[in-house]
Structure 1
Amino acid sequence: MTSPQEPHPQGPQEPGPQQPGPPSGPQGPFQGGPAPDAPYGDPRYGAQHGGPQHGAPQYGGAQYGGAPAGGAPQGQYGPGGGGPHGGPPQGPYGPYAQPPAPKKGKGGLIALVVGGVVLLLLLMVGGVVAFVLTRGGGAALPGGELEGVRFYGELSKDHVEPGETVDYDGNLPPVGGDHYPTWQDCGVYDAPLRAEFGVHSLEHGAVWIGYDPALPESDVQALADLYSPGDYLLISPMEGVETQLVASAWEVQLPLDGVDDPRLPRFLAEYTQGERTPEPGAPCSGGYAGSAADFEAGQ
C-alpha cells in the first residue's frame, strides 16, 4: 500500500521516471545547481535554470558573453566574452589597460649624432668660405677685416698745448693719441700737415691718406679725386711713409701698394666715421686750414 510522499525539505518532489533528476554532486542554492563557489556561467546552472526568465538573459545570455544555447561565448566584446561575471574584457594588462609603449631603439640617438656631424661640417665650410672672402685678394665682407689692416689699442685722447710736439711712435700718418685742441680741416693739401691737428680730425672720424712726395702727379690727382666737399678725408704728402701711400683712421692703419690698390675704397667705406670713432659727427671743418709750414710761420 502506498502513501503520499513527504514534502522534500529542499524543493519540489523528486522527479519520476519520465523526469530525470539533476546530476549528483554538491548542492548549491538551487536543487541540482552548481556548488557555491562555481561561476554563474556553470553549464549545470544554465541547464537547470537557463530558460528565458533566469538563465540565458541574465548570466549565460549573449549580452554577457555567454552562448545562446551552450555553444561558444558570443557577446558585445566578441568571441570569448567578458570577465568572470560578464564585465569588461580581461586582457594581460587588466581591464581597459593599454599595452606598454614600445621602447625607443637606438635610431633616435643615431639620428641625433648624424645631425650634429652635419651641422659641424656646415659650420666648418662656412668658416673656410668666410676666411677666403675676408683674406683673399684684399676682398672683405661688409664689416670684415681687410688684409694688412693694423689695429692699435686704447690711445690717449688728451689735448696738449699748441706748439707742443707729440711722439706718435713713427706711425705716419698717426693713428691717434694726444693732439691739439683744434682739428685740421678736411680736404686735399699739397704740403705736409702738422700731425697734432690731423690726429684731432681722426678723433672726429676722418681718414688721413699720407702719400710719398715722389708719387707721380697723375696718382696725386687720382687721390685728390677721392675727395668731395664735406667728406671726412685728409690727403697730404708725407715724408717717411713706408709705402707709396698709407691710410690711417683712429687706432687703425693700412699701408697700400698704390692708388689702384682695391683695398683703399674698402678702407674708406669701413673706417670713415667708423665704429672706432671716438667722437662721430664732430666737425671736420672750421678748424685749422694751414700746413705745417704755415703753423711754424705763425700763420
Structure 2
Amino acid sequence: MAQRKSPSTSGSANRPAGGAARSPKGQAGRGPAGKGPTGPGRPPAKKGKSIVNQKQTPWGMIIATVLVVLFAVAVVVVVIATNKGSSDSSDPYRYPEVAAAKKIQGVAYHVEPNHNHKDGILTYDTTPPTGGNHSQYWADCTGTVYAQPIANENAVHMLEHGAIWITYNADKVKGTQLDGLKQIVSGVDRLALSPYPNLKSAVSLQAWGYQLFVDSPSDPRINQFIAALKLNPKVTPESTASCSQPTFKAHPSTFGHPLWVPAPASASSGASSGA
C-alpha cells in the first residue's frame, strides 16, 4: 500500500536557513540606522572640523581687566599723594590752618610733613622755606637780628620751635624802614630777622607751614602775622623746645653754608639782640 506524503507548509522550502525573517520592504541596501545608503556608488561622508571645538582668545575680557587694574592703581596713587599733603589735627606737623591766619589777607598755608635732621644743603618747596628737613643745629631766635643772610637749614629748625622768621630784601629795605623791623624783633623771644638774597618782595614772614609777602616794612599785617602764629600750639610742632642757641648767635651760619655743629670761635661775627 502506497504511503501518503505529508503536506508541507506553504513557502517553507523558500525560507532561509535558520528561520531568518525577510527584510521589510524598502530597507534593503541601507546602512546603519539613521544613515543614508552605503552602496558602492556613494563614498562615505567626510567629517569636518567642529567650530565648537576651536578655542578663541577672549581679548575683550583681557583688555577690560587690564583697564580696571590700571584705574585702581591710579586711584591708590592719587589717595596717597593727597593724604601726604593733607592736614591732621592729631599730627603736629599736619595741623589744619588756624582761623586767625585765614583772616590775614595774603597768608599762604600748606602742610610741611618732613622734619628730619639732615646734614648739608637741602632743597625746599618755598623761598624762603617754611618748613621741611633741616639741620640739627637751630638758629638762635630770641629776638635776634642777623646782619647777614643765614642758612635755610638752620633757620627752618627755629621755625619748628615756634619762631617767626622775618626776612627782607636789603636792596629795598634800608635806613629807617630797616630800623622799624629791628624794633619789632629785637629782644622778643621767638623772633628773628635777617636779609634774604633776591627776595621777591620787600619783606616776607615765615612760620612753620605759613608765609606772607608784603611790599612795605610798615604793613600792619606784619604784626598780625606775628600775633597769630608765634609759638601758637596749633602751629608749632615743638612748642616746648628752646629758641636759645648762644653759640649760633655768636657765630651764625652764612647763606648756602649750613652749620651742623657750632662753628669754631674764629668764625664770623655774631648777631645782635639789643633794641
What does 1:164-175 correspond to in 2, within 5 Å? 164-169=120-125, 171-175=126-130
Contact 2:101/2:107 (CA < 8 Å) preserved in 1? no
Task: Determine the C-alpha separation between the residues in 2 that align with 1:148 and 1:165.
Answer: 29
The answer to whether structure 1 residue 157 and structure 2 residue 115 are counterparts is yes
The answer to whether structure 1 residue 197 and structure 2 residue 154 are counterparts is yes
Displacement after TM superposition at 1:247 (Å): 0.3
CA distances 1:39-96 after superposition (whole Å, capped 9, x unpaired):
xxxxxxxxxxxxxxxxxxxxxxxxxxxxxxxxxxxxxxxxxxxxxxxxxxxxxxxxxx
SS of equivalent residue, structure 2 residue 185: coil
State the AA in 1 paired with 2:124: Y
State the AA in 2 paired with 1:185: D
Task: Determine the C-alpha separation between the residues in 2 that align with 1:217 and 1:256.
Answer: 18
State the AA in 1 paired with 2:181: L
TM-score (norm 2): 0.53
Task: Determine the C-alpha separation between the residues in 2 that align with 1:172 and 1:260.
Answer: 22
> Which one of 109, 130, 140 corresponds to residue 185 of structure 1?
140
Task: Determine the C-alpha separation between the residues in 2 that align with 1:154 and 1:188.
Answer: 26
SS of equivalent residue, structure 2 residue 204: strand
Structure 2 partner of 1:280:
239
Displacement after TM superposition at 1:154 (Å): 3.3
State the AA in 2 paired with 1:207: I
Task: Determine the C-alpha separation between the residues in 2 that align with 1:212 and 1:236.
Answer: 9
Change (3 A) 1:295 1:199: closer
State the AA in 2 paired with 1:166: L
State the AA in 2 paired with 1:222: G
Displacement after TM superposition at 1:144 (Å): 4.7
Task: Determine the C-alpha separation between the residues in 2 that align with 1:143 and 1:253.
Answer: 10
CA distances 1:263-297 after superposition (whole Å, capped 9, x unpaired):
11000000101221100131111262214068688
Task: Determine the C-alpha separation between the residues in 2 that align with 1:196 and 1:284.
Answer: 15
Q: Percent identity?
A: 33
Structure 1 partner of 2:182:
224
Change (3 A) 1:242 1:155: farther
> Which one of 199, 202, 209 corresponds to residue 251 of structure 1?
209
Greater Rg by CA:
1
Displacement after TM superposition at 1:229 (Å): 2.3
Displacement after TM superposition at 1:152 (Å): 1.1
Structure 1 partner of 2:37:
none
Displacement after TM superposition at 1:145 (Å): 2.5
Task: Determine the C-alpha separation between the residues in 1 that align with 2:133 and 2:202.
Answer: 26
Contact 1:173/1:209 (CA < 8 Å) preserved in 2? no
Structure 2 partner of 1:267:
225
Task: Determine the C-alpha separation between the residues in 1 that align with 2:211 and 2:138.
Answer: 19
Displacement after TM superposition at 1:230 (Å): 4.7
Task: Determine the C-alpha separation between the residues in 2 that align with 1:173 and 1:143.
Answer: 18
Contact 1:172/1:240 (CA < 8 Å) preserved in 2? no
Displacement after TM superposition at 1:143 (Å): 6.2
List gaps (5 residues or longer) in structure 1. Answer: 1-140
TM-score (norm 1): 0.49
Structure 2 partner of 1:77:
none
Contact 1:273/1:281 (CA < 8 Å) preserved in 2? no
CA distances 1:133-178 after superposition (whole Å, capped 9, x unpaired):
xxxxxxxx856521110011233110002xx111113x23210000
Contact 2:139/2:158 (CA < 8 Å) preserved in 1? yes
SS of equivalent residue, structure 1 residue 226: helix
State the AA in 2 paired with 1:232: R
> Which one of 254, 261, 265 corresponds to residue 292 of structure 1?
254
Contact 2:158/2:243 (CA < 8 Å) preserved in 1? yes
Structure 2 partner of 1:148:
106
Higher relative contact order structure (alpha carbons within 8 Å, sequence separation ≥ 6): 2
SS of equivalent residue, structure 1 residue 259: coil
Task: Determine the C-alpha separation between the residues in 1 that align with 2:128 and 2:164.
Answer: 10
SS of equivalent residue, structure 1 residue 225: helix
Contact 1:212/1:241 (CA < 8 Å) preserved in 2? yes
State the AA in 2 paired with 1:179: H
